[in-house]
Amino acid sequence: MFKKLIINITKHETRVALLEDGTIAELFIERKDEEVIAGNIYKGRVQRVLPGMQAAFIDIGLKQAAFIYVNDVNANDFQEFEKLFIKDGEEENPVEDDNNEKAISIIEKPASPIEDLLVEGQDILVQVVKSPIGTKGARVTSYISIPGRFLVLMPTSDHIGISRRIEVEEERLRLKEMVDSLRTEDFGYIVRTAGEGIQREKMVYEMGFLNNLWANIQKKYRGHSAPSLLHQELTVSLRAVRDLLTHEVDQVIIDSREGYESVLSFLETLMPSRKDSVALYEGSEPIFDAYNLEGDISRALKKKVWLKSGGYIVIEHTEALVAIDVNTGRYVGKHNLEETILKTNLEAVKEIAYQIRLRDIGGIIIIDFIDMAKKANQEKVFNALRESMEKDKSKTHILPISEIGLIQMTRKRIRKSINSMLCEPCHYCDGEGQILSKQTICYNIYREVLRLSQDVTGSRLTLHVNPVIAELLHGEERQIISALERLMGNQIVIYPNADYHMEQFNLFETLNN
């Protein structure tokens, strides 16, 4: 599979698209007024400790206070940090994400309550795990991890881990022994996927670079007052180059001369051999148009996504979860109902996995597949979904199909989804997704006039409404106005007002001269 990184850089926004065989698979967006802060390290100050929530609010200098859970508070008498990287007995396989997500899991039972670990006014070194999303502040941890090209440094641990994507046991053992023999401090390290086959000299250099970086962070911590930024993560374009260029991406194409030079300078330090893989785009057509990406991005914002067979899926975002519904649509099949349903569900599985990754949907996801009578077909769909999600670097957990045909899954959320990044609630419907029907509005007007009829003393009423409603009241719903005039014995004059919301109307009483 041939992969490219297409990078579009402007003064106000940077967009990075990962293409797999010419099709956009992932999209990363960073804006000047909404920079992604995941990975940043701060000297914060405890604002408030919440024993009932076993969490605390930390002031890190942003508009919204960050929050930290008790499981993310590092203390000398806390549980051994290595347990953060042990799951199901797999000590040698820590959670590792090549997109620079935090390699941290949650400890099930903290050793101490949070009120014994933190007090208000206390200074604390924290790293952002999740950027602010909506009304939620950033989530932080005091377990620091600093990613490099080949290694992730964990200065608050002494655990050595190897990426799960490095599968050859001999290579895993070689890397672990190399790291163990080279480290001069009791620091923990994770060897990233890009570290496969790395030679000793490069490992020494990267260890020294990360250790010096940590020493500088500690020095800044001692010399700065809280709240203050001590270490800033790379820009989205440099992160993509660092995390994807060696093992996954074959070519990087950038449309900005300044961005191009920045990437080359970055590679000169980390991967000089890959500088030839970077190209400057100098075409007259915008780079995302040249690679036909704008249409795919626009479709990624639509609720309904059509399948090739004629079926479709509907993706609905709610406050608590994302619901995905599968429908046969125009597809009628060829032989029998069960076969038609199975084919639609299997086709939907591939599109769902693609859309989840492209839209960067996180949190709880509920998928409502078309009901299948045969247990074997349910297993096919479930296994197909698990297989399709294997390309996704974000951590996912998928439960088998329930008795009512639902699949429940979770996907680790680090940043805003594409939908929340590019869209905002409709100012017209206030994010409800629908407004009252025109007929309902007319009937509401009828009832409101009846309520006011007892107090009307003038000879006529003036009704101000949206032009669409005015046209309806003069036409199809004219009987409403006629009935009111007969009942009240007053004339009703309708005035259209283009500034009115569809549901808005006002009644005024007019006296005779």
Q: Give the C-alpha separation, 123 to 37, whole Å.
A: 20
Q: How many residues does the chain have?
A: 513
* pLDDT score at 109: 47
pLDDT of residue 56: 94
State pLDDT tens for residues 356-375: 999 999 899 999 998 888 89
Contact 50, 58 (CB under 8 A): no
Instruction: State the Cα torsion 451-452-453-459 to the nearest 10°.
Output: -160
181: tokens are 């023999």
Q: Token digits for 373?
A: 């009578």
pLDDT tens-digit readout, 207-258: 988 999 999 999 999 999 999 999 988 888 888 888 787 667 889 999 999 9
Q: How far apart are CA 102 and CA 94, in angstroms?
A: 11
The predicted structure's pLDDT at residue 335: 67
Higher-scoring residue by pLDDT: 249, 1: 249
Q: Say what the pLDDT of residue 90 is.
A: 34
Confidence of residue 107 (pLDDT cuts 50, 70, 90): very low
Asked if residues 252 and 241 have their Cβ atoms less than 8 Å apart, the reply is yes
Whether pLDDT at 444 is above 50: yes
The number of angstroms, rounded, from the C-alpha of 352 to the middle of its chain's C-alpha atoms is 15
pLDDT value at 414 more than 60: yes
pLDDT tens profile 281-300: 999 999 999 999 998 898 88
- DSSP character at residue 362: -
Residue pair 348/313 in contact by the 8 Å Cβ criterion: yes
- DSSP 8-state assignment for residue 172: H
- Say if residue 436's pLDDT is above 50: yes
Mean pLDDT of the chain: 85
Q: What percent of the chain stands above pLDDT 70? A: 89
What three-state secondary structure class fits 510? Answer: strand
Nearest to 26 by CA among 248, 275, 307, 312: 248
User: What pLDDT shows up at residue 111?
Assistant: 63
Q: Which H or E run includes 249? A: none
What 3-state DSSP class applies to 29?
strand
What is the pLDDT averaged over residues 102-106? Answer: 38
508 compared with 56, residue with greater pLDDT: 56
Mean pLDDT over residues 110-121, rounded?
85
* Start-end of H helices in 291-409: 294-299, 337-359, 375-388
pLDDT recorded at residue 89: 33
CB–CB of 383/400 below 8 Å? Answer: no
Q: Which two tokens mark 467?
A: 């032009």
Pairing between β-strand 151-154 and β-strand 146-147 as defined by DSSP bridges:
antiparallel
pLDDT tens, position by position, 83-93 = 333 333 333 33
pLDDT at 457 over 80: no
Residue 187 half-sphere exposure toward CB, CA atoms < 13 A: 23
Using an 8 Å Cβ cutoff, are 313 and 303 in contact? no
- Whether the pLDDT of residue 5 is over 90: the answer is yes
Please indicate whether residue 169 or residue 332 has the higher confidence score (pLDDT): 169
Q: What are phi and psi of 405, to 5 degrees?
A: 85, 20
Does the pLDDT of residue 98 top 70, yes or no?
Answer: no
What φ, ψ does residue 228 adopt, rounded to 5°? -155, 150
* pLDDT tops 80 at residue 309: yes
Per-residue pLDDT band at 440 (split at 50, 70, 90): very high
Per-residue pLDDT of 184-204, as tens digits, reads 888 999 998 888 888 898 889
Question: 329 and 351 in contact (C-beta within 8 Å)?
Answer: no
* Interval 130-166: pLDDT, tens: 888 777 888 999 999 999 888 999 998 888 999 888 8
Closest to 140 measured CA to CA, from 157, 118, 159, 160 = 118
Place of tokens 């009704």: 463
- CA-nearest of 300, 308, 393, 311 to 355 is 300
